[in-house]
Chains A and B, each alone.
Chain A
Amino acid sequence: MPDISSDRSAATPPPRTSVWLGFVAFAAVIFAQTFSILTSPADRDMGHLQKIMYVHVPAAWMTFLAFLVVFVYSMRYLWKQNENDDLLAASAAEVGAVFNGLTLMLGMIWGRPAWGVWWVWDARLTSTLVLFLIFVGYLALRAFVDDSVQRAKWSAAVGAIGAINVPIVYMSVKWWRTLHQPQSSPGTLDPAYTLGLRLNAIALLLVLIYFIRKRYEIARLERAIEDFAQAAAMGGK
């Protein structure tokens, strides 16, 4: 019987994601949101609408971080051809797509009352939508290619090249004239809002880590199940 696991490092059993990490992450989100909603005064321009910042901005940061994970593990896959790196990159891409979609939706809900429009095709919004399409394209590609090695190579290429859009999204408000405001800095953000924003970012980071780990665990389990099925088919001959 051929040793099908020779080209993979799937020899280690799939990891287990700690349930406690999930509890802590979601408790942190509830705490951070409660704290920031209760403590932050209404903004002098936009009133209570400012509170949307606590979910929209961290969601955008998590989108960037998720793509950073996709990029790092895509590059690592191309370098070492370790299948687990491919599975981790794919897990981060799915979670990143969720956060990217969330960023867009929350931004639209803020934009309607603040700008007067749900959507505009300015450089920031368009490049963020393109980032979402890259995530979706990456996931669609994986669903489309059957051969696991081909799939890993192609998606690693998309993950590595697609990452150039992340700095474009981030810098778009500085490079081009946009309706979207540039990044706030501690200098432009009232201290009354800073702590709330940071707490929400930390809480959502825990959620991001939990989601990617959990998704990776599932990917590893499914891979191991495929290996079993393959081994059984070959052994039954």
Chain B
Amino acid sequence: MNVFEMDRNFVIAAYSVMWVVVLGYLVRLIRKGSRARTDYDGMVGANGGEKP
């Protein structure tokens, strides 16, 4: 393969890696965040709205 046709593939690979990593981390944060928020709200509710 011509080396210049490889250029495009490396650029596409770089941007793909960037989006996979960033979106992967975003999804992780959102999932973890909503779980923690639910647990927290549940505990505040069980505690009669009182925070520790």
Give yes or no for direct A-B contact (beta carbon below 8 Å).
yes
Interface size class of A (residues with CB under 8 A): 35 or more
- Of the candidates A13, A113, A222, the one whose C-beta lies within 8 Å of that of B36 is A222
> Known contacts A55-B14, A56-B14; is A224 also within 8 Å of B32 by CB?
no
- Chain A residues near B15 (CB-CB < 8 A): 33, 55
- Of the candidates B8, B14, B21, the one whose C-beta lies within 8 Å of that of A101 is B21
> Known contacts A105-B21, A224-B40, A228-B43; is A49 also within 8 Å of B10 by CB?
yes
> Known contacts A47-B4, A113-B6, A221-B39; is A214 also within 8 Å of B33 by CB?
yes
Interface size class of B (residues with CB under 8 A): 20 to 34
Q: A107-131, CB under 8 A of B: which get 1 and which 0?
A: 0011011000000000000000000
- Rounded to whole Å, the gap between the CB of A137 and the closest CB of chain B is 19
C-alpha spacing A214/B26, complex, angstroms: 9
Q: A193-237, CB under 8 A of B: which get 1 and which 0?
A: 000000000000001000100110110011011011011000000
> Known contacts A55-B15, A98-B21; is A211 also within 8 Å of B7 by CB?
no
Q: 5 pairs across A/B with beta carbons < 8 Å?
A: A4-B52, A26-B26, A52-B10, A106-B17, A113-B10
